[in-house]
Chain A
Amino acid sequence: MSEQPPLTVEQFYKYILQGKLMGGKCKKCGKVHLPPRPLCDNCFSKELEWTEIPQKGKLLTYTIIHVAPTQFQGMAPYAVGIVQLENWVQIPGMIRGVALEQIKIGMPLTIDFGECVSTQQWPQWPRYYFKPV
């Protein structure tokens, strides 16, 4: 069996940089983890593998951030939401490519890898976004 990359946040973001949305899957109970975990929280198995996560989903809830932390101040106001992907796992992210007042709960969204860049400081993670389908 070939060695697979570790089931870590670090590796999740390495996949993002490659334009892939990947999660963990427990080989024993089948639970899908997003973010990936090194230990299945359902059955305690450590037998996990990477699995591709559907890139489309629907918006469950959202907000428009006006007062942002220092590093995001230049981007405000911006929208963030929680998206339920087609396999039911949920992840949050910024929503781009749509006027803020057009955003609606239930709208279909897809992941947008955009210009994924890495910074020099920890953490060297790229950022993914969501955009309308």
Chain B
Amino acid sequence: MKGDPLVSIVSAGLSKFGKLEGLYAREIFAEAAKEAFDRCPKLDPKEDVRALFVGHMGESYEHQGHTGATMADWAGLLHIPATRTEAACASSGVALRAGIYAVLSGLCDVVMVGGVEKMTHRTTPEVTEYLAMASDYPFEQWHGITFPGLFALMATAHMHEYGTTERQLAMVAVKNHHHGSLNPKAHMQKEIALENALSSRAIAWPLKLFDCSLITDGASCLILTKPELAKKFTDTPVHIVGSGQASDTIGLYEREVFTSLAAAKLAAKKAYEMADAKPEDIDLAEVHDCFTIAEIIAYEDLGFCNPGEGGKLVESGETKLEGRLPVNTSGGLKAKGHPVGATGTAQAYEMYLQLTGQADRRQVENAETGLTHNVGGSGATATVHIYRRG
């Protein structure tokens, strides 16, 4: 039935996000898993958790592949089926989808989904090179197009077509840094001034340093179960009522438009239909602000405003914590940080905290329905999930 829960989140965990020196990805994932187990005393991890799906983008960072089995072992879940999902920055949005498939199929009553990335021990040029692997090699990377460069191509097009300004882009950063200042797990917990954002050095014009999300270490996870079993584990589950995933050309250059992500629009349409919800029903959202322009495009792709009006929406203040539709209350990828493989389920973690009233200083009052939007690469993958308080 439309709007019925697909699965329920009964617990969630998040490591500290930031520069976690001296730690290896598996050790960071264990921290997230521990929080999820501690939050849910009625869960017997070894007995109940029947599979793990974990998002992880790059082997290059730690010279370590085979992430599924490794993370299961370090989470104390040795021997369960463990699968790594990879879809660039949407790796754990896709892990969440995989967990939903597993539970809905009836194969597993309880699964863990999550993600992890350890990045900060590498130099910026190295990380730039590894992140670029999410884009087309023979025509984009080969011609010197970086990852910020791809979103800069979208920003230039959006500014040209709709008159979006560099100031509006900077406003996304200022807002998300404010939210991040209220999140004790965020990588950057300090406010930034609009003028500083505007005068920061160019990375890929028109995108500047403060338009870019952070290179961050971190891990996140969720415990999913069938809705009818949720109350066995917790009195306060959060239900996932809509889930959409879509794909697009790996090369940005092949697309009809550069001002919108078709995969995100398709994923959103599917999720809204499944949830029997409309954009107006959403109380808060975590969107994929890997670059400030991406948040503006997300507003438009998710139907929070008309195409071309994303810049005006951030300017209106409606997407601030105290606004009509708070977006990225966690600080987003911009301030909380963007350990790429961990991001999709980290967004779901924020939604879990908000919809169970545990978001502390950044709590959105009376939040009932939330949405997360996770994008891989320049939009070749997108997942959208809709959540309802249980």
Contact = CB atoms under 8 A, between A and B. Distances in A.
Interface of A: 9, 13, 35, 60-73, 75, 77-78, 80-82, 90-94, 105, 123, 125, 127
Contact of B253 (A67, A71, A92): A92
Interface residues of B, number: 36
Contacts of A67: 124-125, 128, 146, 148, 203-204
B139 A63 contact: no
Contact of A66 (B140, B143, B201): B201
Interface stretch (B16-24, B152-160, B185-193): B152-160
B202 interface: yes
Contacts of A65: 144-146, 149, 152, 204
B143 A80 contact: yes
B145 A64 contact: no
B143 A93 contact: yes
A72 B142 CA distance: 10
A68 B153 contact: no
Interface in B15-62: none
B144 A78 contact: yes
Given A61-B160, A67-B128, 13 more contacts: A13-B138, A35-B138, A63-B149, A63-B153, A63-B155, A64-B204, A65-B145, A65-B204, A66-B203, A66-B204, A67-B146, A68-B128, A82-B252
A86 to B, nearest CB: 16
Given A61-B258, A105-B160, A68 B125 contact: yes
A62 B143 contact: no
A33 to B, nearest CB: 10
B157 A70 contact: no
Nearest to A9: B138
Interface of B: 124-126, 128-129, 132, 138-146, 148-149, 152-157, 160, 201-207, 251-254, 258
Most B C-beta atoms less than 10 A away, residue of A13, A61, A81: A61
Contact of A68 (B144, B157, B252, B254): B144
Contacts of A71: 129
B66 to A, nearest CB: 24
A60 B253 CA distance: 10
A92 B143 contact: yes
Nearest to B251: A92
A69 B153 contact: no
B143 A69 contact: no
Nearest to A81: B153
